Structure 1
């Protein structure tokens, strides 16, 4: 979530950085589920990008949401850039190209995730429809060029925009043209974190295949099923990817701290100002050797903000963040938290998932990750198709959710949210393959119908 932290205590030792992560450990009874999803706003008339300014812009949309919800505005230099729910802990924020993100509150069940989502979408529609704004549930904008997309007035994005082209081919596409759904899950100890991190990193390509739906760029098929996933392969490899060190002996909070210390920084925030330190390391800052802050040491806020600029397939904060899935229409959004909760929050399913992945090597995991954006379920690892592994994982997740036994008011458990994924497995095609069939058939070679069929 892009709310920048404010805690100005100067850091004295590396132990404090480790302790910051350790403070995330919780007893199982306190495990929560946080789901974040992004959606692309478009003009209902003409299906064009929505600017920030103006009576029918993103700023006006946020102002309307503020009045409707009574949430605290998040301001930057006089512009409203987000909203924060002081009581529940949810937030609405803007991605660089205006993608509208709901960072859900930490909830106990996927039923609550679903309820939160339905309420959010009803509220957004109430404000957006009169402004002539709709929202698209795809992993990437299917028809717009990068040049067409407006830039949101957030300081950190300006710094990132300048830096991105220096370190990869697709950084600006990632910022301005992609959407994701993510889920954040807890761990009970360092050992529990390591096991969940390894399982979820190795299996992230399965989520990528199940949720793949970004096969179009600027109105044409791009040759991939998840172009969003492909973009991350060449955005900034110093801060993304399959973190092979997580599978080595001695992995723990300290090892992640050492990794994060060497990931190049983007910015340091002081008051309302973002100071560009792009490319310098946190380790140097920690030693008092940052050119912009000679002799100064970073604060806990600086550390938390820096950690939010690291983008591996699974990110460690004070929880684990699953980052492999394309954004999807609302009916499939709760399936992502359901999938990972079933696998990671049930010990038998977690053991079963560990059995699947424990003999995979780092080069094999990497090859699978590299192949999945193009081949989806037809990607292979060892002598198996990803499709078979996805099927097994879905069975494990289903069993895990049933054992959790969290029942809604109609007596149904959380496994019901896996139904869209089970349908995908039954027909053997990812959502992207289904879209390509439509493009070549009823859509008659146009992506325009996506703005009806995949809108929220």
Structure 2
């Protein structure tokens, strides 16, 4: 989640302004950037419990101490709920998951260095407070009612609304973690091609990063329970968006989708106004029940874009949203996968050739089955593992051709290596966790908090 919005910007008087907002993300390839975001679970090392906001070892104190590294605090009702530093943010998810929303950078070397610096900082502060952090897709031990809620206004509104539209939305809010990357496009046509490729291949990323096989201390039967949770969160704002593959798809069609997506809130003068379930179309017409007579500002549209949760999300850039959180190397591998596929024309063409013949039924099958079966999921006469190996070869070639070298002369392709090892072995991160649970961990998930801590 981003830092709290500011209620400003010009009033929206025409639907065309909504389309133009998305169009304004188009930029030449020389200006394309990489923005990596990752969430992690924070917990006390003494009892492995998730952190409350308050207290000497709580999330509030963690954020306060991180300001020593040049982060500026953002407050809501007197509580620090985010930190900013240039174009980077540290924010809180509803259950106290700590997220780094990295600055847009030019190379994978830079985004990986940023992740490393951030993890070093939170580890230094964590050692002082007796807390640690780890990356998994789903909280492996604690029940939903044992997770403290963070004091952010938008989360109160979402918390009240989620149970009305799905059975797992509160789990999504409080017990999941992801890693994602945000990438640019040059034109509407470029956006459409990248959207289609990344949406079709999102289940492949889900399988490679599947890392959430435990619920409340026991195996849950899934490779990525985090991914499964999204299938019963809110059908109005989740899913694999079949219309993206239809003729004529573009910015206008995505605007139509967002106009059909129910609202959560409007931010006005430091306060979140509850508009849950109401229509942005009515807002445009000045008929929003929550703010009668008012029309939206452009910042209200920007906020509304953040309340849709498809597998790939369009803002002024494209967000890849299919991966479980994981250890440090996989935080660098996720952007490497998608940069390699989408930021090189030859790789993008090859990826499109791979998926363009897939039917909607095949794409839906992958979305439904990969959370449970992972790399073993069948697609035609192949498995997801087979497809993953092909996808990784395409991505590696794209990274080699980008030829963005670090100070030692290495290009970006080595960031793919950790995924290559997973695909070649056919063993997902979830398989590795289950092996340890059934072996040296003796049927306990507690060692994951030690062995997989950052």
TM-score band (shorter)? over 0.9
Q: Distance in 1 between matches of 2:134 and 2:217?
A: 15
Q: Deviations over 1:165-223 (max 9, x none)?
A: 01011000000000000000000000000000000000000110000000000000000
Given that 2:203 and 2:367 are in contact with CA atoms closer than 8 Å, whether structure 1 keeps it comes out as: yes
Q: Deviations over 1:283-307 (max 9, x none)?
A: 1111111111112111111100010
1:372 maps to what in 2? 370
Q: Distance in 1 between matches of 2:79 and 2:5?
A: 18
Asked if 1:53 is matched to 2:15, the reply is no
State which of 278, 291, 294 in structure 2 corresponds to 1:293. Answer: 291
2:122 maps to what in 1? 124
State which of 309, 314, 334 in structure 2 corresponds to 1:316. Answer: 314
State which of 332, 337, 340 in structure 2 corresponds to 1:339. Answer: 337
* 3-state SS of 1:290 partner: coil
State which of 272, 275, 287 in structure 2 corresponds to 1:274. Answer: 272
* 3-state SS of 1:42 partner: strand
Asked if 1:36 is matched to 2:34, the reply is no
Q: Distance in 2 between matches of 1:429 and 1:78?
A: 47
Return 5+ residue gaps in structure 2 as ranges.
Answer: none
TM-score, normalised to structure 2's length?
A: 0.99
- Structure 1 stretch displaced more, 1-10 or 142-151: 1-10
* 3-state SS of 1:289 partner: coil
Q: Distance in 2 between matches of 1:377 and 1:332?
A: 16
Cα shift at 1:16: 0.4
State which of 152, 156, 159 in structure 2 corresponds to 1:158. Answer: 156
1:79 maps to what in 2? 79
Q: Distance in 1 between matches of 2:274 and 2:265?
A: 5
Cα shift at 1:8: 3.5
Q: Distance in 2 between matches of 1:219 and 1:23?
A: 46
1:176 maps to what in 2? 174
Given that 2:82 and 2:91 are in contact with CA atoms closer than 8 Å, whether structure 1 keeps it comes out as: yes
Q: Deviations over 1:366-417 (max 9, x none)?
A: 1110000000011122332111111100000000000000111111110111
Cα shift at 1:71: 2.0
TM-score, normalised to structure 1's length?
A: 0.98
Q: Give aligned pairs, total.
A: 453
Q: Distance in 2 between matches of 1:69 and 1:315?
A: 31
Q: Distance in 2 between matches of 1:292 and 1:451?
A: 44
Cα shift at 1:49: 1.0
* Equivalent runs, 1:106-121 vs 2, <5 Å: 106-121=104-119
Q: Distance in 1 between matches of 2:277 and 2:158?
A: 10
Q: Distance in 1 between matches of 2:291 and 2:118?
A: 41
